[in-house]
């Protein structure tokens, strides 16, 4: 009985992973659910490589099961006869067949690599994305500067220029593109295209220190008209504040906020932290780890270390009136 069971156990063990692969959650930023042409090419390549590997693995498994059918005991005499099929089998299964398969896979993979390569001149929109510890600055040709959220027009190839202000980061939107590093002192380029409108999760893929885990961003693909309106608004300086927001602006200018953040249209022009000119138009805070609500904003200002331990932003202690005014100011930065 026991002898019968083991090969079956081995086979079921090999099928289990397949079942797990089938159970992919659809809310994940999955490489296997591509939303753009580049990611689609990679997905096709993956399935080719997967099925080749799966067949090879089954062959190995079959040979192991076959070997288990003729068991011996340690006292058995040694068989030192030459096996006629032995070395030819090793040469065929170990050298010839893999050589052919690997050559084919190599050539196909080079083709996919060419597909992914940026077509240098065709894109009319270039977005600069600079990695910072631990957030992303996004700059558009019309002067718009934002953080964390990269808006792109749907269905168009957009060129992304990748740089870093400090250490090495890596730009990865699994549903749209392969990843590419952001290396200080270098400029890397990538093309991004989303086939349908939506929000695509991106995350830093190169370990970059304490808050690497919370260096997240979002690519927002929207119809051209919406994109144009958004990018035009983002380029504008902020509106004139009034009432409590005006008092909040003074709080901003009198405290450490002004030392790091820019609000275009005011005297605040520092570039150490994210540009806040249109903070209220963004849906998240802290590099996409918190929804952009009044409570979260307050928490981020008064106790940033509790939100993101190790972040360079210092805590700011304010009276509740001052804080409320400051929040009023920040929340009207649309």
Q: Which of residues 149-168 bind other proteins (CB under 8 A)?
A: 162, 166-168
Nearer to other proteins, 188 or 302 (CB): 188
* CB-CB contact of 222 with 233 (8 Å): no
Residue 216 CB partners (closer than 8 Å, separation 6+): 148, 201, 202, 203, 204, 287, 288, 289
Looking only at residues 224 through 283 of this chain, which bind other proteins when binding is defined by CB under 8 A?
none
Instruction: Kindly tell me which residue out of 1, 110, 119, 225 binds other proteins, with binding defined by CB under 8 A.
Output: 110
* Residues numbered 74-93 forming contacts with other proteins, rule: CB under 8 A: 74-80, 83, 85-87, 89-91, 93
d(CA 209, CA 134): 8
Binding to other proteins by residue 178, rule CB under 8 A? yes
Q: Residue 200 and residue 323: Cα distance in Å, rounded?
A: 33
Cβ of residue 294: shortest distance to other proteins, in angstroms? 21
Using rule CB under 8 A, residue 120 touches other proteins: no
As a whole number of angstroms, the distance between CA 280 and CA 263 comes to 12
Token reading at 126:
């270039």
For other proteins, which stretch binds (CB under 8 A), given 28-36, 137-145, 242-250, 254-262? Answer: 28-36
Positive or negative CA dihedral for 234, 240, 242, 244?
positive
Taking the mean position of all CA atoms in its chain, how far away is CA 181? 11
Closer residue to other proteins, CB minimum distance, 153 or 202: 202
Among 11, 105, 253, 298, binds other proteins (CB under 8 A): 105
Contact between 208 and other proteins per CB under 8 A:
yes
Residue 71 binding other proteins, by CB under 8 A: yes
């Amino acid at each position: 009985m026991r002898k019968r069971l083991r090969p079956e156990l081995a086979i079921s063990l090999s099928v289990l992973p397949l079942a797990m692969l089938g159970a992919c959650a659809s809310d994940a930023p999955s490489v296997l659910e591509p939303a753009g042409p580049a990611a689609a090419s990679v997905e096709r390549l993956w399935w080719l490589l997967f099925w080749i590997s799966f067949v090879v693995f089954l062959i190995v498994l079959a040979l192991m099961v076959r070997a288990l059918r003729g068991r011996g005991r340690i006292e058995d005499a040694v068989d030192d006869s030459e096996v006629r099929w032995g070395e030819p089998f090793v040469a065929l299964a170990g050298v010839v067949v893999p050589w052919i398969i690997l050559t084919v896979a190599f050539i196909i993979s080079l083709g996919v690599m060419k597909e992914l390569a940026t077509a240098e001149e065709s894109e009319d929109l270039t977005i600069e994305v600079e990695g910072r510890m631990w957030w992303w600055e996004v700059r558009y040709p019309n002067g718009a500067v934002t953080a964390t959220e990269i808006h792109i027009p749907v269905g168009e190839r957009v060129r992304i220029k990748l740089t870093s202000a400090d250490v090495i980061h890596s730009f990865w939107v699994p549903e749209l593109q392969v990843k590419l590093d952001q290396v200080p002192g270098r400029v890397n380029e990538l093309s991004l295209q989303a086939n349908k409108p939506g929000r695509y999760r991106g995350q830093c893929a190169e370990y970059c220190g304490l808050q690497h885990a919370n260096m997240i961003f979002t690519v927002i693909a929207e119809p051209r008209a919406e994109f144009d309106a958004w990018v035009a608004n983002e380029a504008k300086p902020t509106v004139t504040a009034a009432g409590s927001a005006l008092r909040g602006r003074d709080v901003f200018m009198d405290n450490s906020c002004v030392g790091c953040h820019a609000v275009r249209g005011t005297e605040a022009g520092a570039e150490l932290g994210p540009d806040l000119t249109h903070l209220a138009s963004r849906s998240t805070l802290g590099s996409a780890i918190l929804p952009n609500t009044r409570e979260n904003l307050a928490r981020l200002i008064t106790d940033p270390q509790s939100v993101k331990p190790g972040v360079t932003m210092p805590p700011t202690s304010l009276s509740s009136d001052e804080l409320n005014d400051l929040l009023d100011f920040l929340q009207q930065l649309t």
